Structure 1
Amino acid sequence: MKKITIAILALIILGMLMPAGFSTDSNLVITYGETTNANSNYKSDVDSFFVKQSNVDLNNVVTKVITANQVNQVSSGITGKSYSSNQILSSAFLDLNDNDNLEVTVDKSKITTITGDMYISALKSAGITRGHVYVTSPVSATGESALAGIMNAYEEATNLEIPDNVKKAASDEIYTQGEIVENSGVDANELSALVDQVKEEVANDNVTDHDSIVNIINNHVQNNNINITNTDIENLADSIEQVQNVQGDVNHYKSQLGSLLNSTSDSGFSLDGLLNWFKSFVNGI
Structure 2
Amino acid sequence: MKRITIPILAILLVGLLLPTGFAADSNLVITYGETTYANNDYKSVVDAFFVNQANVDLNNVNSKVITADQVNQVSSGITGKSYSSNQILSSAFLDLKDNDNLEVSVDKSKITTITGNMYISALKSAGITSGHVYVTSPVSATGESALAGIMNSYEEVTDVKIPETVKEAANDEIYTQAEIVENSGVDADKLSKLVDDVKQEVSKGNVTDHGTIVNIINNYVQNNNINITNVDIENLANTIQQVQNVQGDVNHYKDQVGEFLNNGNSTGGFSLDSLFDWIKAFFNGN
- Assess same fold via TM > 0.5: yes
One-letter amino acid matched to 2:40: S
Deviates more, 1:7-16 or 1:98-107: 7-16
Give the match for residue 105 of structure 2: 105
Aligned counterparts of 2:218 and 2:120: Cα–Cα separation in 1: 23
Deviation at 1:259, TM superposition (A): 2.3
Describe how 1:66-145 pairs up with structure 2 within 5 A: 66-145=66-145
Describe how 1:152-167 pairs up with structure 2 within 5 A: 152-167=152-167
Aligned counterparts of 2:206 and 2:37: Cα–Cα separation in 1: 43
Report the identity percentage.
76
Structure 1 pair 272–84 and aligned structure 2 pair: CA distance change class (3 A) = farther
Give the match for residue 203 of structure 2: 203
CA contact 2:264–2:271 (8 Å) conserved in 1: no
Deviations 1:195-251 (A, max 9, x none): 011101100111101111111111101011111111111110110000000001101
Aligned counterparts of 1:55 and 1:148: Cα–Cα separation in 2: 24
Aligned counterparts of 1:256 and 1:244: Cα–Cα separation in 2: 19
Deviation at 1:26, TM superposition (A): 1.1
Deviations 1:47-80 (A, max 9, x none): 1111111101111000000000000000010011
Structure 1 pair 20–249 and aligned structure 2 pair: CA distance change class (3 A) = farther
Structure 1 pair 5–263 and aligned structure 2 pair: CA distance change class (3 A) = closer
Q: Which runs of 5+ in 1 are unaligned?
A: none
Aligned counterparts of 2:240 and 2:253: Cα–Cα separation in 1: 19
One-letter amino acid matched to 1:248: G
One-letter amino acid matched to 1:99: N
Aligned counterparts of 1:21 and 1:72: Cα–Cα separation in 2: 36
Give the match for residue 220 of structure 2: 220
Aligned counterparts of 2:216 and 2:23: Cα–Cα separation in 1: 51
Number of residue equivalences: 275
Give the match for residue 34 of structure 1: 34
Q: CA RMSD in A?
A: 2.4
Q: TM-score, normalised by structure 1?
A: 0.90
Aligned counterparts of 1:93 and 1:58: Cα–Cα separation in 2: 10
Give the match for residue 148 of structure 1: 148
Q: Which runs of 5+ in 2 are unaligned?
A: none
One-letter amino acid matched to 1:188: A
CA contact 2:210–2:238 (8 Å) conserved in 1: yes
Give the match for residue 179 of structure 1: 179
Structure 1 pair 127–47 and aligned structure 2 pair: CA distance change class (3 A) = same
Q: TM-score, normalised by structure 2?
A: 0.90
Structure 1 pair 53–17 and aligned structure 2 pair: CA distance change class (3 A) = closer
Secondary structure at the residue paired with 1:76?
helix
Secondary structure at the residue paired with 1:175?
helix
